[in-house]
Structures are given as C-alpha cells and as structure tokens.
Amino acid sequence: MARAAETPTDSNRLTRTVVLVGMMGAGKSTIGRRLAVRLGAPFVDADHEIERAAGCTIPEIFEKYGEAGFRDGERRVICRLLDDAPHVLAMGGGAFVDPETRAAAKAKAVSIWLNTDIETLFRRVSRRANRPMLYVDDPRAQLEKLLAVRSPTYAEADIHVTGGDGPADRVAADAEARLEAMGVLRPAPRGRAAEPYPEPTAVEPCADGS
C-alpha cells in the first residue's frame, strides 16, 4: 500500500478497491476518509500521491508541465495505486475523464460518482486557491463548463451517490450500502456492531474535497 494510506483496522471489508470520482469540491477526500473508516480499509488521496511522486504541488506541476504533463503523471500514479491491496481511493476531478485512467479504474476497482450540485461545488472551491483549472477570469463559468463536459463520463461510474451539503457520514453510509448491495464487501467482523446511520445533527456537513 502506498505510504500515504491511512492505517486501516485489522478487518478490511473490501474485496476490491473503491475509487471516488467527481468534480473538484464534491467532497471525495472527506467522504473517502469516512467510508474507509466504516469499512476498516486504508484511504489514499491520489492528489497527495501525485505531489509526493513529483516533489512539488499540483499548481506547480501545471505551471511547469501544463495539463497534459500533469495528466500523464496522474495516470501513472493512479495505475500504480490500483495495483495495491483493496483500499478507498479519492481521485482528482479530471482523472476519471482520462480514457486510460478510466479504463484502469473500471478493470481494477468499483467506482462511485459523488454527484454534487454547482452551487455547493462553487462555494467549496472558492475557499481554496489551489485549483489550476479555475485560474481564469470567470471561475464559476469555467466550473459550470467542466461539470457539463465531465458529467456524462462520471455517469459511467458503477455507483451514483448524491453529494451536496448533507453530512459526510450520511453520504458515506449511502455509499457503503450500495457497495454491500453489489456484493463487494466482506461481512462485518463478529462482535462488531454495524456503524450507525447518523442523524443529520450528529456530524458536520461535507467539507470541500479534491
């Protein structure tokens, strides 16, 4: 497992890696961590692994090599991660759109699209200045364009989960239930109660994600 993977419990329920896909700001990292905890699985953030491999930040990679250079490195890192033991992997917003990366994800993992509305996405991405794809005069228009172009490809994911401003744990619980229905989870360990389905007031809303 990649060094950036968060330590799992001693009973990983995943039989295949799960990849979270969707737009920047969908909450993939936040929900991915919650889902990994529920499943006793490691969590890996692909963007962090890309930065680790490159020795610089994603904005710096875009500045030095352009989007094509970034996608090439992203593809190689994700293909390596997909060969690791089953884990929860949060992928960057454009990763699943790349045909080779998408084909690898389909062959080696179960994909979940976090489908999130434009208002929520824009509010979240506006909090951070590390989104090279939005370094334009009208970032909202660019985000709307990216959402329109990418959504048909995201829709190829195995599972669709609605994101938005709901609590992250409720979204993670929904994803867990869909995975269980697909038959890709091992039974919960004996003596371990299932994670409760939380009330809306019990946890905070999803934070902005990759």
Please spell the DSSP secondary structure of the chain, one letter per residue. --TTPPPP-S---BSSEEEEE--TTS-HHHHHHHHHHHHT--EEEHHHHHHHHHTS-HHHHHHHHHHHHHHHHHHHHHHHHHTSSS-EEEPPTTTTTSHHHHHHHHHHEEEEEEE--HHHHHHHHTT-S--GGG-SS-HHHHHHHHHHHHHHHHTTSSEEEE-SSSBHHHHHHHHHHHHHHHT-BPPPPTT-PPPP---GGGSPBPPP--
- Residue 191 resides in a domain: no
Domain that holds residue 59: 17-184
- Residues of the chain with pLDDT > 90, as a percent, come to 65
pLDDT value for 136: 63
The answer to whether the CB of 208 falls within 8 A of the CB of 28 is no
Which CATH number is 107's domain given? 3.40.50.300
Which of 88-97, 118-127, 145-154, 166-175 has the weakest average pLDDT?
A: 118-127
Decide if 199 is inside a domain: no
Q: Give the tens place of pLDDT for each residue, 2-27.
A: 444 554 445 899 999 999 999 988 99
- Is residue 3 a part of any domain in this protein? no
pLDDT class for 198, splitting at 50, 70, 90? very low
Total domains in the fold of the chain? 1
Residue range 99-103: average pLDDT? 96
Would you say residue 87 lies in a domain?
yes
How does pLDDT run across 58-87, given as a tens digit for each residue? 889 988 999 899 999 999 999 999 999 999
